[in-house]
Homo-oligomer: A and B are copies of this chain.
Amino acid sequence: MCEANAYLLTDSGETLVMEAVDDVLPEKDGLKLVNIFGEQKFLRAAIHSLSLVDHKVFLKELDS
């Protein structure tokens, strides 16, 4: 399996928002994250960067 952990980048560092993420999909004002267990999470964020060999997806909050 090739899932990754999703982290939200903040001024103070990175915060884990979801583990074992499979799909990241654009939705309205943000992103829908779906993990390998079928759990879903919606975030007002965009994909910032990826480090796939480290299993990391970095997200950045959208300006409100």
Question: Which residues of A are interface residues toward B (Cβ below 8 A)?
Answer: 1-4, 21-26, 36, 46-53, 55, 57
Contacts and interface: CB of A to CB of B under 8 A. Distances in A.
Chain A contact residues, majority secondary structure: strand
A50 B36 contact: no
Contacts of A48: 26
A2 B36 contact: no
A54 to B, nearest CB: 8
30 contacts: A1-B53, A2-B2, A2-B4, A2-B52, A2-B53, A2-B55, A3-B52, A3-B53, A4-B52, A21-B50, A21-B52, A22-B51, A22-B52, A22-B53, A23-B49, A23-B50, A23-B51, A23-B52, A23-B53, A24-B50, A25-B49, A26-B49, A46-B46, A46-B47, A47-B47, A47-B49, A47-B50, A50-B50, A50-B57, A52-B52
